[in-house]
Amino acid sequence: MSHYSNSYYTATMRYASPRQTLTGNVQADVCVIGGGLAGLSTAWELVSKGRSVVLLEAARVAWGASGRNGGFVLQGWSEGLSSIERRCGTETARALFKLSLEGVDIVRETIDQHQLQGCAPTSGKLTVLRYDDGNNLQRLRDRMAKDFNFEMEYLDTHAIRARLNTERYFHGLRDSHGFHFHPLNYCLGVAELIEAKGGVLYENSPMIRVESQGDRHHVVTQRGVVDCGNVVHCCGGYGGPEFGRLRRAFLPIATYVVLTEHLGDRLRDAIRTTDAVGDNRRASDYYRLVDGDRLLWGGHITTRNVQDEKRLANMLTDDILNVFPQLRGLQIEKAWSGLMGYARHKMPHIGTLGPGLWACTSFGGHGMNTAPIGARVVAEAICGESDRYRLFDAYGLEWNGGPFGPAAAQTVYTGLKLMDMFQEARSTRRAAKH
Ligand SMILES: Cc1cc2nc3c(=O)[nH]c(=O)nc-3n(C[C@H](O)[C@H](O)[C@H](O)COP(=O)(O)OP(=O)(O)OC[C@H]3O[C@@H](n4cnc5c(N)ncnc54)[C@H](O)[C@@H]3O)c2cc1C
C-alpha cells in the first residue's frame, strides 16, 4: 500500500477515502493511466461528456507531482513564449498562449462551480527581477499586452520593496489573472467529481503493459485488465519502462519545497503581500505565504532525487536567507521533493501514440494550468469534437538522450545557473558604481 509523502499538503489534506485495487476484467470507453492532475482532468472531461472511464493509479490519487508542488496556477508553459514562436510561428504561439490561459480558468472555475473544499485559491503572482533592468521588464509587459493581449502591472523598485522587504529585488511584474492554491485538495476534489459521474478510480494498480488488438486495447495490471477503446497515458515524471517510447522521450527531473515554522510578524514584515512570488532566473526561487505566517518555498532542480530532508532543509534555508537575511534562525518543519517529466523541447507530449492511444503528459515545472487544458484537448479529440491537440504537432517524442540525458540536463542546468549569477553580479557592480 502506497502512502502520501510527508508535506504541508498531506498535513492539511481533506479526507481521501482509499480506492480499491483493480482485480479481474472491467470494460470502459477510455482507460486513463496515472492519477495526477493530467489523468484526473482527462477523466473529468471525459465523464462530463458522457464517456465511461476507468483510471489506474500506481499509488494514491495525486501522490506524484500534482499533490506536492508549489501550487502556482499561472499562464504560459514550461517552454518560453519566444522559443514557442520561433518553433511554431506567431499564430500557433498565440493560440497556445490562449490555451494556457484557458487552463488557469478551468482550475478556478472548477473550484467555484463545485465548491471544492480546502483549495484556498488566492489571486496574484509577482515576477521579480534580481538585477536592475526595469526597461527590459517594461518592454516584456508591453509585448505581452500587444502580441498576446495579456496585461500585467509593472512595479518599480520602490513598489516592489514595499511588498517584499529585500534588497535583492529591483523590479517586478504583477499578474492578477494567476493564483495559488492547495493542489492536493484540488485533485482530491476532482477525483470525487469523477466518481459522482460514474468514473471508477483504482489505486495501487500500476499498469504493467498495454496490449492492442485492432481497435480494442487491454491495459494490464498485476491482478486485472481494462478492456477499452482508448487509452490516455498520464504518467508525469514517475512513468517507468512500461511506457515504452514515451518513457524514452522525457527525463524525470527532481525539484524541492520546504515549509517553515509559524514566523509571526517577522515574516509579515519581510513579505507584505499574499501574492505568490517567483524570480525570473532560469533556476528560480518561488514562494508564498500559507496559514498567514508560514513560508512555503521551492527551488532547485536536479536529475538525482535528493530525499534527505535535513539536506533539503539546509539547501533551501540558504536560498531563503539569501533573499531575506532578517529571517535568520528560522526553522524548517517539512521538506519534500517531487519528480517532473520534461521533454527535451520543454513542451508537453499531447497527441496520439497510435490508433486509440493518447499521450497527455510531460508538463515539466508548469503543469497546474497546462495539464487541465492538455486533458481538455485530448478529451475533445477522443470525442471527435475538436482537433485543438494538433497545436502541439511540432512537439513530438524526441529522444531524451538515453543514459546521457540526465548528465546533459544537469550540465545545461549548471550552465544556466552560472548565467543567472553572472547577470546578477554585473548588475550589482553597476548599481555600486552609480
Ligand atoms: C516540487 C514541485 C513543485 C512544482 N511547482 C509547480 C507550480 O507551482 N506550478 C505548476 O504549474 N507546476 C508545478 N510543478 C509541476 C507540476 O506539479 C506538474 O507539471 C504536474 O503535477 C504534472 O501532473 P501529471 O499528472 O502529469 O503528473 P503527476 O502528478 O506526477 O502524476 C503522474 C501519476 O502517474 C502515476 N503512474 C506512474 N506510472 C504509472 C503506471 N505504470 N500505472 C499507473 N499509474 C502510474 C504516478 O503514481 C503519479 O501519481 C511542480 C512540480 C514539483 C515536483
Lowest mean pLDDT, pick from 51-55, 229-233, 317-321, 401-405: 401-405
Provide the pLDDT confidence category of residue 397 given band limits of 50, 70 and 90: confident
pLDDT value of position 430: 60
In sequence order, the β-bridge partners of residue 27 are 227
For the Cβ of 358 lying below 6 angstroms from any atom of ligand 1, the answer is no
Provide the pLDDT confidence category of residue 307 given band limits of 50, 70 and 90: confident
Nearest alpha carbon to residue 267 among 259, 257, 279, 255: 259
Cell, residue 244: 515504452
Cell, residue 260: 517553515
Cell, residue 74: 499561472
Query: Given the CA of residue 221, which atom of ligand 1 is nearest to it?
Result: 42
Q: How many CB atoms lie within 10 A of CB 422?
A: 10
Nearest alpha carbon to residue 365 among 343, 336, 348, 340: 340
For the Cβ of 72 lying below 6 angstroms from any atom of ligand 1, the answer is yes
- Above 60 in pLDDT, residue 29? yes
- Above 80 in pLDDT, residue 2? no
pLDDT value of position 58: 98
pLDDT digits (tens, 9 = 90+) for 146-172: 999 999 999 999 999 999 999 999 999
Query: Given the CA of residue 206, which atom of ligand 1 is nearest to it?
Result: 42
For the Cβ of 234 lying below 6 angstroms from any atom of ligand 1, the answer is yes
Nearest alpha carbon to residue 326 among 371, 254, 263: 263
**What's the pTM?**
0.94
Pure H helices in 300-366: 309-323
pLDDT value of position 174: 98
Nearest alpha carbon to residue 271 among 242, 246, 292, 252: 292
- Above 50 in pLDDT, residue 421? no
For the Cβ of 76 lying below 6 angstroms from any atom of ligand 1, the answer is no
In sequence order, the β-bridge partners of residue 278 are 127, 286
CA torsion through residues 409, 410, 411, 417, sign: positive
- Average pLDDT of span 335-350: 95
Give CA–CA dist 419/429, Å, rounded.
15
Cell, residue 30: 477510455
For the Cβ of 206 lying below 6 angstroms from any atom of ligand 1, the answer is yes
- Average pLDDT of span 419-426: 51
User: Taking each helix axis from N to C terminus, what angle separates 90-114 and 183-196, rounded to the nearest 10 degrees?
Assistant: 80
Give CA–CA dist 57/45, Å, rounded.
17
pLDDT value of position 150: 98
Question: What is the best residue among 1, 6, 21, 66 to mutate for testing ligand 1's pocket, by most ligand atoms within 8 Å of CB?
Answer: 66
Question: For residue 138, how far is its CA from the centre of ligand 1 (angstroms)?
Answer: 33
- Above 80 in pLDDT, residue 274? yes
For the Cβ of 184 lying below 6 angstroms from any atom of ligand 1, the answer is no
pLDDT value of position 402: 65
pLDDT value of position 396: 87
Residue nearest to ligand 1 atom 12, measured at CA? 366
Question: What is the best residue among 5, 277, 363 to mutate for testing ligand 1's pocket, by most ligand atoms within 8 Å of CB?
Answer: 363
Residues in contact with 25: Cβ distance below 8 Å, sequence separation at least 6, in sequence order: 224, 225, 226, 227
Question: For residue 16, how far is its CA from the centre of ligand 1 (angstroms)?
Answer: 18
- Average pLDDT of span 171-192: 98
